[in-house]
Amino acid sequence: MNDDRLPRRRAGRIGRARIGSYLAAVVFAVPFLLPFYLLLRNSLMTQTELGALEWRWWPERIDLTGFTDAFANSSAPLGRALLNSALVAIVSAPVSTLLASMAGYAVARIRVAAARPVFLLVVATMMVPGAATFVPTFVVVGSLGGVNTLWGLIVPGLFNALAVLLFRGFYLRFPQEIEDAGRIDGLGHLGVYLRLALPNSAGLLAALGVLSFIEHWNSFLWPLVIGQDPALWTVQVAMSTNLTAQAINLPALFASAVVSVLPLALVFLVAQRWIVRGIMATGIKG
């Protein structure tokens, strides 16, 4: 907008640089989009076509047997796996986000002697991220009888220290005047949180909720470890089992991958604005 005020010579140079930027962006976009294209293309091809000698841009004829095979496969039932993944993600995303918001608010705004130690206790776990502790977590969940159970699959993933940190950052910026006004209206600490702070953090809740949904839908190591019974396989575990199997039905595998990515990609496309805005609201810039 301010470029209008620059000398013409410079404006011209910037204009040319901008065209270069667009060219570069298009060139870079190709490798980012190609894998999506291959995913879709391969799900519509036949096994023979996939093993062909020559590159094909498009399947000779659209073949949907991959999709029917994917759902008919009995060794790794796709329908059941999708259901499990949906259940895990739909429960985990709101619960883990809400837990983080509650704790984040408490350590940011409620002045009690425990606030600092509790905050440190939470942040310390961030340095020891989930995946590295899957063995001890498995041992604890196992001794509580959680192997091959839904709760064993879901509960250990509900406690997100990073989200607590982000919510704390957000609530620290929450205007004191609003809190004071709430107190004058007779709200207690919980009331201020529930009626004022929580609704005001809707943007961040949505952003972290979507990120958490994606994370749980895509998570692989923990479901692989804890759900040894095929009835508890998530869609990631089911696909991996087929990917590492002896005889692979490739079109079916690509078709199940399409089915697993599609809902998420749609959620993502709709919600990425919130994600971007939410990340900016946390003040991650530091």
Partner 1 sequence: MSVRTGPLQADAGPAVRPAPAPPRRRRVDWSAWRAFALLTAPLLVGLLLFKYVAMGWGLLLSFSNARGTIALGDWAGLENYRTLFGDPRFRTSLSMIVVFTLVIVPLTFAIALGLAVLVNRLRRGRALFRTTFFLPAAVSYVVASLIWKMSLFSGVPSSAANSLAALFGQEPTAWIATVDPPLYWIVLITVRLWLQIGLYMILFLAGMQEIPGELYEAARVDGAAGEWRLFRHITFPLLRNTSVAVTLLLVIAAFQAFDEFYNLLSTGLAGAPGPDGRPPLVYLYDVSLVQQDYGLGSAGAFVVTLLIVLVTLVQGRLVGFGRGDGE
Site for partner 1 in 163-192 (CB under 8 A): 164, 172, 178, 181-186, 188-190
Q: Which is nearer to partner 1, 50 or 71 (CB)?
A: 50
For residues 235 and 153, is the Cβ–Cβ distance under 8 A?
no
User: Which DSSP category does 189 fall into?
Assistant: H
What is the number of other CB atoms lying within 10 angstroms of the CB of residue 275? 18
x-marked contacts with partner 1 along 40-69 as a string, rule CB under 8 A: --x-------xxxxxxx-------------
Residue from 86, 91, 115, 150 binding partner 1 (CB under 8 A): 115
Q: Which is nearer to partner 1, 17 or 62 (CB)?
A: 17
Sequence-separated (6 or more) residues with CB below 8 Å from residue 264: 213, 214, 217, 218
The answer to whether residue 35 forms part of the interface with partner 1 (CB under 8 A) is yes
The answer to whether residue 9 forms part of the interface with partner 1 (CB under 8 A) is no
Nearest distance from C-beta of residue 68 to partner 1, angstroms = 19
Sequence-separated (6 or more) residues with CB below 8 Å from residue 13: none
Binding footprint of partner 1, residue count (CB under 8 A)? 111
Q: Which is nearer to partner 1, 33 or 90 (CB)?
A: 33
The answer to whether residue 87 forms part of the interface with partner 1 (CB under 8 A) is no
The answer to whether residue 17 forms part of the interface with partner 1 (CB under 8 A) is yes
∠249-82-257 over CA atoms, to 5°?
Answer: 40
Q: Which is nearer to partner 1, 71 or 138 (CB)?
A: 138
Looking only at residues 233 through 262 of this chain, which bind partner 1 when binding is defined by CB under 8 A?
Answer: 236, 239-240, 243-244, 248, 250, 253-254, 257, 260-261
User: Which DSSP category does 192 fall into?
Assistant: I
Looking only at residues 121 through 140 of this chain, which bind partner 1 when binding is defined by CB under 8 A?
Answer: 121-122, 125, 127-140
Inter-CA distances, 283 with 106, 191, 210, 266, Å = 19, 25, 18, 27
Return d(Cα 50, Cα 42) in angstroms, integer. 7
User: Which DSSP category does 148 fall into?
Assistant: T
> 3-state DSSP helix/strand/coil percent for the chain, to nearest 5?
75, 0, 25
Q: Which is nearer to partner 1, 74 or 244 (CB)?
A: 244
